[in-house]
Structure 1
Amino acid sequence: MNDKITFAKKYENEHSGSEYIGYMHDLIANSYRDAKDYKSAYEFLKNNSDKVSTYRFYSVAKRMLDENEDMKTALEIAKLGVEKNRQEVENPSKDKPEFFSNSEWEDERKHYLGLNIFAYGNVLYNIDEKSKSLLVLEEAVNLTRREDGSINELYSKALVENGAYGKALDEISKFIETGHGTVIMKNLLKEAYLNEKGSDEDFSEYAEKFEDAAKEKLILKLENEMILEPAPAFTLNDLDGNVVSLTDYKGKTIIVDFWATWCGPCRASFPGMKISVEKYNDDENVKFFFVNSWERVEDKHKIAADFISKNEYPFQVLMDEENKVIEMFKVSGIPTKFIIDGEGNIRFKSVGFPGTDEQLVEELDM
């Protein structure tokens, strides 16, 4: 680890302003995280908060939450992340990426702030400061535009466990109605209903109207977003070196998913994409391609391969190392998914992550 830090310092001195300085510091933070040396990770993040990415604080804190490790240190890391991300929202330290509009760039910064606030609220919840976590989680829900299922779910839990049954009914029903609910939230809705009404009589009819509204909205959304335009032909190598050409799959339904390892919403969407890939695994008429683009490191192949291997995703990843294919598809932000029919026409385009695995799978199924 000391060698990595020494090299990063030397590189920074010799290449002031290089974009790779941030990547190196992210890798060092990740090394501390992967070694479970969380106290050193905290010290490193604290001393290099201006060099690591805004997502890195959330990444380390989330790992600690997932493993229920050292909540005291996790709380401090989450606080650092909230402080850093608030600064970035108010006064960005970097120039706007060329592929983002001003509003998209602002939305992304707010999204990362929301994730870090979620980590902070999640730690508070886990150390039984559930009353204090409630307002924190509410801010995280709003910053992520009420679209992140995991954040919505924890906020819903906090509402119910704090006895705010009336507000829980209002909030959870809205999450479900807009398609940003989860299976667990349906159970929470029933618990809130029982406590608020004194009985679960008529609950099924009550909940059904929100579920039906969500399905109707999704169908209408997909119908309105249906398109018909020729998909750009492309040829790329996959991670194993196989040559893949879109024209070789005429007659099949193709899902093309543009992503990058640094993209939080891309990563958040992958569990749902895994469900879909496995669901259609035996259907020879459906094919998924995950096109890795816009990577910010020199060895793009390695970082993509390592990510897929570590997470055990059954994805066929195509390497768009020169970002030519993503430009051909006129992608403005990732993740972006295209559904291409058997005639080679784009029929549907989806930008971003809907917030829940359930909604993502349902979108692709329709």
Structure 2
Amino acid sequence: MGIKSIKLAIPLLLLSSQVTFGQLAAKKGVTQDELYKHLNGLFQKDTEASKAEVLKEAEFLAKSKREEDLLLAGQIYRGLEKTAQEEAIKKSITKKFPKGITARNEAFGKLFEKNGPGAQQTELLYAELIKKFPEASFEEKNRGIYGYGISAIAQQYASEKNLDKVSYYLDLLKTRENYTNAIFAIGRELNQQKEYIYTQAMLEPVYLKLSQQKAAANEQKNNAGLQYLGGISLQYAEALLGNQQVDKALEILAKVQRELPSETATIAYAKALEAKGKSLDAFQLLETEVIKNGKEPKLMAELLPLYSKLNNSLSDTASYLKGLNARIDETLVSKLQGEMVKKDAPQFSLVDRSGKEVSLASMKGKVVVLDFWATWCGPCKMSFPGMQAAVNKYVNDPDVAFLFINTWQKEENYKELVNNFINENKYSFHVLYDEMKDRDKSVVTAYGVKGIPTKVIIDKEGFIRFQSSGGGADVEKIVHEISTKIELAKKG
């Protein structure tokens, strides 16, 4: 059974010039990064020898008297699918460290429950928790949860419109790493409640700070919190609009649309333009995005009413959509032609669900669509209704074949899982089973796949013309893109 790389989130605090670990015991001066690199390297090798070596590391760590080491051992056992050992580690941690990281995190979990107590009860619970688990008793890198606890209280008070309490707890958060995250969550809540005056005042300094930080990011290499800039900008603009400061909101939204484009940003900008009386500009903005990215439902929900409004409901929407579709097709074809490649498709022969051997060589003369997937892969399954629609579209086309290559399954009974999944969902996919034990011999490796789902389009001569990863749920968009790629591949 294969093993997968793990992201080691639990730091080892024993690392020093005199500390050694398992198979690293012969080395001195082991650093934390070296240990993590060593462990992840073993996981990525995915061989029996590497499994044996990493197991020794886990067994060594499991004997430690430090909670952090036991937590890491548990992570390793999970990666090796050693469930019994992982559970034993969990039980031993709870008994050995009743006031340790694990016990504390489990206790703090009550603060973050979606349907938890009200703000005052959450506040009292937090007071009890910090008394039982004093923040100072943990090392700095293990204190992050306290900030999130304060944030949870502030969000509860925001939902209850107790702005004085929100201000009090935000002041406590200002020096903590999760301050921007808290501002983002609270800004969303208060905008929904139309508390625009408070929200604008709260968001403005954060927006300005992040904007300045982004401008200097390349020089200072300081990107902390910048992932929230787009969201904070949109919330700030929403508050400005709520306070009738339309021009300032438009300035910010234009910047977001230019520097951090997204569907949400486009819609917000369009609505602001309409509020300014610039309905035609809003319509053109939305139409451009639709032509570029396809008929995303949320964009279309804004575009079509604007079209009717601008035409006084007198124009033929069906005719407009026909012309819009033509422009979308033209843009997509041009884009995909620029992405086309031409390289030999690695040959393979795999067994399907019925036990029949299927080879790529036997498909020569057809355009072949490969879809690499696994039953545990959410994005893979999300795209399947669209892929089923694509299969249905070409079901009577003798020149097109779809092969759904099941790969990276770690379960021993993966064939049973696959069969149940396909049957329960009534998919008519031609599923092939990849090599699961030896990664070096798998088709997914031969095709250089780094993540799934990955879809590959092979032309009639056996050349890869398209290869892309990622999934989506828009059936129409999936069918449109797959069909366009197939038709381009048919032309060679």
Aligned to 2:148: 27
Selected match of 1:85 from 210, 228, 231: 210
Aligned to 2:331: 217
Query: Do residues 61 (structure 1) and 178 (structure 2) align?
Result: no
Query: SS at the partner of 1:339?
Result: strand
Query: SS at the partner of 2:214?
Result: helix
Deviations 1:194-215 (CA, angstroms, capped at 9, x unpaired): 5545564365545544443333
- Structure 1 gap segments, 5+ residues each: 98-104, 232-249, 260-269, 292-324
In structure 1, distance between residues paired with 2:277 and 2:201: 28
Aligned to 1:178: 292
In structure 1, distance between residues paired with 2:286 and 2:273: 9
Aligned 1:1-366 pairs, distance under 5 A: 1-2=126-127, 10=136, 14-15=139-140, 18=141, 23-24=144-145, 27-28=148-149, 30-32=151-153, 35=156, 37=158, 39=163, 40-50=165-175, 51-52=177-178, 54-65=180-191, 68=193, 70-92=195-217, 96=221, 109=226, 112-125=228-241, 133-145=249-261, 148-179=262-293, 182-186=296-300, 188-196=302-310, 200-201=314-315, 204-206=318-320, 208-222=322-336, 224-225=338-339, 253-255=371-373, 276=383, 338-339=454-455, 348-350=467-469, 361=478
Kindly tell me: are residues 339 and 194 of structure 1, through their superposed partners in 2, closer, same or farther at Cα, counting changes over 3 Å?
closer
Aligned length: 281
Residue 44 of structure 1: how far off its partner (Å)? 3.6
Kindly tell me: are residues 274 and 192 of structure 1, through their superposed partners in 2, closer, same or farther at Cα, counting changes over 3 Å?
same
Letter matched to residue 253 of structure 1: D
Letter matched to residue 89 of structure 1: K
Greater gyration radius? 2
Kindly tell me: are residues 113 and 96 of structure 1, through their superposed partners in 2, closer, same or farther at Cα, counting changes over 3 Å?
same
Kindly tell me: are residues 37 and 286 of structure 1, through their superposed partners in 2, closer, same or farther at Cα, counting changes over 3 Å?
farther
In structure 1, distance between residues paired with 2:408 and 2:156: 29
Letter matched to residue 149 of structure 1: E
> Highest relative contact order (Cα 8 Å, sep 6+), 1 or 2?
1
Query: SS at the partner of 1:178?
Result: helix
In structure 1, distance between residues paired with 2:381 and 2:189: 20
Deviations 1:177-200 (CA, angstroms, capped at 9, x unpaired): 211764354354444445545564
Kindly tell me: are residues 179 and 93 of structure 1, through their superposed partners in 2, closer, same or farther at Cα, counting changes over 3 Å?
closer
With normalisation by structure 1, the TM-score equals 0.53
In structure 1, distance between residues paired with 2:479 and 2:405: 17
- Contact (CA 8 Å) 2:199, 2:239: kept in 1 or not? yes
Query: SS at the partner of 2:467?
Result: strand
Deviations 1:321-340 (CA, angstroms, capped at 9, x unpaired): xxxx9xx9797xxx986336
Structure 1 vs Structure 2 CA RMSD: 5.5
Query: SS at the partner of 1:59?
Result: helix
Deviations 1:50-102 (CA, angstroms, capped at 9, x unpaired): 5226454323323454x5475554444433441332242134599859xxxxx
In structure 1, distance between residues paired with 2:211 and 2:375: 31
Identity level (%) = 14
Letter matched to residue 134 of structure 1: L
Letter matched to residue 454 of structure 2: F
- Structure 2 gap segments, 5+ residues each: 1-125, 347-358, 361-369, 392-401, 410-443, 459-463, 484-492
Kindly tell me: are residues 91 and 338 of structure 1, through their superposed partners in 2, closer, same or farther at Cα, counting changes over 3 Å?
same
In structure 2, distance between residues paired with 1:256 and 1:95: 41
